[in-house]
Amino acid sequence: MLRRAYSKEEQTVDTDYQTDEEWLLNIQRKLYTWSQGHPGEAWRDTWKWVIHPQNLRLAWQRVARNRGKRTPGVDGLTVRRVEQRIGVERFLDELRQRLRNGDYRPMPVRRVMIPKRGKPGQFRPLGVPTVADRVVQAAILHLLEPIFEAGFYPCSYGFRPKKSCRDAVEHIRNAIRPRKERSRTDRPSPPYQWVIEGDIKGCFDNIDHHSVMQRVRRRIGDVKVCRLVRAFLKAGVLANDAFLRSEAGTPQGEILSPLLANIVLSAIEERYERFVVPRLSRAGTPYVRPGNEIRKFRHRERMAGRPVFLPVRYADDFVVLVTGTQEIARAEKEELARFLSEELKLILSPEKTHVTALTDGFHFLSHRIYLRWDDRWGYWPRVEVPKEKINDLRYRVKQMTKRGSTHLSFQEVIDALNPMLRGWGYFYRHCYGAKDVFYKVDYYAWDRLRRWLRKKYPKSPRRAVQRRYLRRIGDRPRLRWVDKRPLFLTGDISVGRHNLVKLRYPDYAIAASESPVHNERCTPGSGTGVRETTAGNRSIGALAPCSLAGRNAR
């Protein structure tokens, strides 16, 4: 059902004395608040904001800040060439005029093959749109994201603002952690025993266009916007000077692709909705269970001997935690594969989709997660750095310090190692035993540089080389290799468990909670249910459909 969220007076946005960022934040706040209160309705007045000059300027800034600004599309234009030859204002004015007149047509994306990290000989296809297409997609994303973000499930983390893979991993750790009941004195049993590791074959390349548009039209009633989104899906690919029609899939590299993939893959959470955000009815009024009630609901299901399923998804990587027997988990894997095939036209890889016991452990987002037995506490969840990732880092350090690189200066080698060590260390700093792993990595890098210096200066005395490059920085006891800048040590990174309770929310969600304006909305899940009014509600928990953070993640 198509419906306006506000009256004409409420939809009017005062743009006087507003910066572009303030204008967009105000629009996104309205869309987010409306979408939360009207989950079954579609917003139909979006086009006027897509082609608004302020939105296009912000879209240009987003494209100009991206690392791919130097990569041209099929028309050969880059951001710098547009700035130098055409001018930004003229470029945006002409683009806006084409959009208003209906003359704008998306161009095919240029296919570029990039090597897969850690998989020699394998490549990932990347689609590079033109600069104009990137700007239009960014303008559409600014408006579609708050509408769909309000309806996404709290167990989905990939390609969402202010969410990361650390949140997804910590969500799983909290979910599988046994909790002791007050009435019992024995060791608590784990709430989940099995996990379904899902792997979708070529997810981005095989997403069904009909499924995408069907789900987009549920929330977007503007025909022009839907037609433009479909045009981007059907734009085609230019590979090796040959045009390929797009019958399915959304190219990786497009700005809209992550959002469209999330819109489609949210069907996985919908399948298990009663275990994530079950919508019930109290006195004839539908409502959404708060987080603590959801946890108690799942506990009652377990006590009654019924299976419980909890999905956690990061983009196209997902797992489903299962309470029950191995036969139940295997049967659910087959049902899930059938569901994805019929509903989304996606195929689960039978070779990579497994049912694994949590005591054996599984890999998710480059982390190893498992239940470990402790004589004092019973089963306890562990998140560790996989040995393969440690060996992969050691291999990359070895490649940068091999004999063939002695023509480089010592500082060039340090500058090549530092960002790699820093990024790797901060990614794994929340794992169990991270400090011990970091010390071993630091020693290996330190020793490789020592060997590299001996190869570079074979005739110099060892002590002379060490006096030149080995120094103590400040009051730190550890010696570092230093030229102009020191070698980064991962052991200096502060480690600790990731705090899922401190989940961050998008700026427009925070703005919606702090707005002094009375926001009229329907009770979530009610469709045409009773309206409720919130005035200046500052509680972020009131914005989220369900909070599974921290202790409520079980």
The model's pLDDT over 259-317, given as tens digits with 9 standing for 90+, comes to 999 999 999 999 999 888 755 544 444 455 556 778 888 888 888 889 999 999 999 99
Quickly state the pLDDT bin for 541 (edges 50, 70, 90).
very low
Q: How far is CA 322 from its chain centroid?
A: 23
pLDDT for the residue numbered 399:
92
pLDDT for the residue numbered 290:
59
- State the residue for tokens 């046994």: 178
pLDDT for the residue numbered 507:
86
Please state, in angstroms and rounded to a whole number, the distance separating the CA atoms of residues 180 and 141.
Answer: 45
Q: How far is it between the farthest Cα atoms of the chain?
A: 88
Please state, in angstroms and rounded to a whole number, the distance separating the CA atoms of residues 123 and 114.
Answer: 5
Q: Does the pLDDT of residue 11 top 80, yes or no? A: no
Please state, in angstroms and rounded to a whole number, the distance separating the CA atoms of residues 64 and 535.
Answer: 38
CA–CA distance from 217 to each of 1, 40, 111, 148, 210 (Å)?
A: 10, 11, 28, 11, 11
Q: Does the pLDDT of residue 547 top 50, yes or no? A: no
Q: Is 250 helix (H, G, I), strand (E, B) or coil?
A: coil
Please state, in angstroms and rounded to a whole number, the distance separating the CA atoms of residues 536 and 516.
Answer: 4
Whether the CB-CB separation of 488 and 421 falls below 8 Å is answered with yes
pLDDT tens-digit series, residues 369-403: 999 998 877 899 999 999 999 999 999 999 999 98
pLDDT for the residue numbered 183:
54
Please state, in angstroms and rounded to a whole number, the distance separating the CA atoms of residues 295 and 399.
Answer: 49
pLDDT for the residue numbered 123:
81
Tell me which range, 218-227, 235-244, 477-486, is most confidently predicted by mean pLDDT: 218-227
pLDDT for the residue numbered 192:
95
Q: Does the pLDDT of residue 9 top 50, yes or no? A: no
Q: Is 498 helix (H, G, I), strand (E, B) or coil?
A: coil
pLDDT for the residue numbered 291:
60
Quickly state the pLDDT bin for 205 (edges 50, 70, 90).
confident
Please compute the mean of the pLDDT values over residues 217-225 and round it to a whole number: 94
Please compute the mean of the pLDDT values over residues 224-252 and round it to a whole number: 89
CA–CA distance from 74 to each of 348, 489, 517 (Å)?
A: 33, 43, 46
Quickly state the pLDDT bin for 476 (edges 50, 70, 90).
low
Quickly state the pLDDT bin for 473 (edges 50, 70, 90).
confident
Mean confidence (pLDDT) of the chain:
84
Please state, in angstroms and rounded to a whole number, the distance separating the CA atoms of residues 86 and 73.
Answer: 16
Whether the CB-CB separation of 209 and 230 falls below 8 Å is answered with yes
pLDDT for the residue numbered 513:
62
Q: Does the pLDDT of residue 550 top 50, yes or no? A: no
Please compute the mean of the pLDDT values over residues 173-183 and round it to a whole number: 80
pLDDT tens-digit series, residues 78-122: 999 999 999 999 999 999 999 999 999 999 999 888 887 767 777
Q: Does the pLDDT of residue 196 top 60, yes or no? A: yes
Quickly state the pLDDT bin for 186 (edges 50, 70, 90).
low
Tokens of 179: 């909790």
Residue partners of 171: CB distance under 8 A and separation at least 6? 155, 157, 312, 500, 548, 553
Per DSSP, 102 falls in state T
pLDDT for the residue numbered 194:
97
Residue 362 parent element (H or E): strand 362-364
CA–CA distance from 358 to each of 127, 192, 195, 366, 370 (Å)?
A: 38, 8, 7, 16, 5
Q: Does the pLDDT of residue 522 top 50, yes or no? A: no
pLDDT for the residue numbered 187:
74
Tokens of 508: 């427009």
% residues pLDDT > 90 (the chain): 55
Q: Does the pLDDT of residue 441 top 80, yes or no? A: yes
Please compute the mean of the pLDDT values over residues 503-523 and round it to a whole number: 59
pLDDT for the residue numbered 521:
35
| Cβ-based neighbour number of residue 307 at 10 Å | 16
Phi-psi region of 162 (alpha: psi -120 to 50; beta: other; left: phi over 0): left
Per DSSP, 428 falls in state S
Tokens of 513: 């909670």
Q: Does the pLDDT of residue 55 top 60, yes or no? A: yes
Please state, in angstroms and rounded to a whole number, the distance separating the CA atoms of residues 181 and 187.
Answer: 9
Phi-psi region of 220 (alpha: psi -120 to 50; beta: other; left: phi over 0): beta
Whether the CB-CB separation of 534 and 542 falls below 8 Å is answered with yes
pLDDT for the residue numbered 184:
58
Please compute the mean of the pLDDT values over residues 228-250 and round it to a whole number: 89
Quickly state the pLDDT bin for 5 (edges 50, 70, 90).
very low
pLDDT for the residue numbered 4:
45
Q: 129-138, 146-155, 172-181, 478-487: which range is least confident on average? A: 478-487
Written as one string, the DSSP assignment of 13-30 is ---TT--HHHHHHHHHHH
**Helical H runs in 15-87?**
20-37, 47-50, 53-65, 79-81
Whether the CB-CB separation of 504 and 493 falls below 8 Å is answered with no
